[in-house]
């Protein structure tokens, strides 16, 4: 059985302000660093993992590096396929600003956002590759809220019609006989 622990990066200043981040390269804030330390401490006290793979965006890389230093695990690589949804023109804006600029139906406008199907496809492609390459191992993957949520909705649609992924939450997927199931979802028990 292969297990993949999906982790959303720690909180950033833009998260705190309610700004869409997308592929903008925003670092963790102090609270995000603390969240990553708390998650690392939790992982240290639980069943061991084999390695870490992270998104190549700074907030994910910083989260992965903090966890790596806490649990003494190597970071295998930084993979752009598990970057956040590209939010196009809305990156850096809040909901209030989006309504002011494009109106209350801004979601219906063509603002250059990546399609959910594209996000799901790259997320599932990544998970299937990890499953094949690291069969029988336990892999931590540090990524982003929309990427994780959209991927879950397409990978296991009978379990996930909607999703919400908290900062530094842990979601654990298992693959047995080429079938995916989720044994832990959006767990944040490590946060004080």
Full strand arrangement of the beta sheet holding 51-55 = 75-79, 51-55, 138-143, 2-8, 170-176, 179-187
Q: What is the pLDDT along the chain (192 residues), one digit of tens a residue?
A: 999 999 999 999 999 999 999 999 999 999 999 999 999 999 999 989 999 999 999 999 999 999 999 999 999 999 999 999 999 999 999 999 999 999 999 999 999 999 999 999 999 999 999 999 999 999 999 999 999 999 999 999 999 999 999 999 999 999 998 899 999 999 999 998
Query: Where exactly are the structural domains of the chain?
Result: 2-187
Rounded CA-CA distance 98/12 in Å is 20
- What top-level class would CATH report for the domain 2-187? alpha beta
Residue ranges for the binding site? 8-15, 59
Rounded CA-CA distance 173/179 in Å is 10
Q: Which two tokens stand for residue 73?
A: 């695990």
Catalytic residues: 9, 84
Residue ranges for the binding site for substrate? 8-15, 59
> For tokens 């401490």, what's the residue?
41
């Amino acid at each position: 059985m292969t297990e993949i622990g999906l982790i959303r990066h720690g909180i950033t200043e833009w998260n705190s302000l309610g700004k869409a981040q997308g592929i903008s390269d925003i670092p963790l804030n102090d609270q995000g660093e603390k969240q990553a330390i708390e998650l690392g401490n939790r992982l240290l006290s639980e069943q061991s993992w084999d390695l870490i793979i992270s998104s190549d965006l700074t907030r994910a890389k910083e989260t992965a590096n903090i966890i790596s230093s806490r649990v003494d695990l190597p970071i295998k690589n930084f993979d752009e396929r598990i970057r956040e949804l590209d939010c196009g023109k809305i990156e850096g804006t809040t909901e209030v600003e989006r309504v002011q600029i494009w109106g209350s139906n801004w979601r219906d406008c063509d603002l250059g956002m990546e399609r959910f199907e594209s996000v799901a496809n790259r997320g599932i492609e990544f998970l299937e590759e990890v499953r094949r390459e690291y069969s029988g191992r336990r892999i931590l993957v540090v990524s982003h809220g929309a990427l994780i949520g959209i991927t879950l909705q397409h990978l296991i649609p009978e379990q996930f019609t909607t999703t919400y992924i908290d900062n530094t939450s842990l979601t654990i997927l298992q693959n047995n006989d080429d079938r995916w199931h989720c044994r832990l979802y959006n767990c944040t028990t490590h946060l004080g």
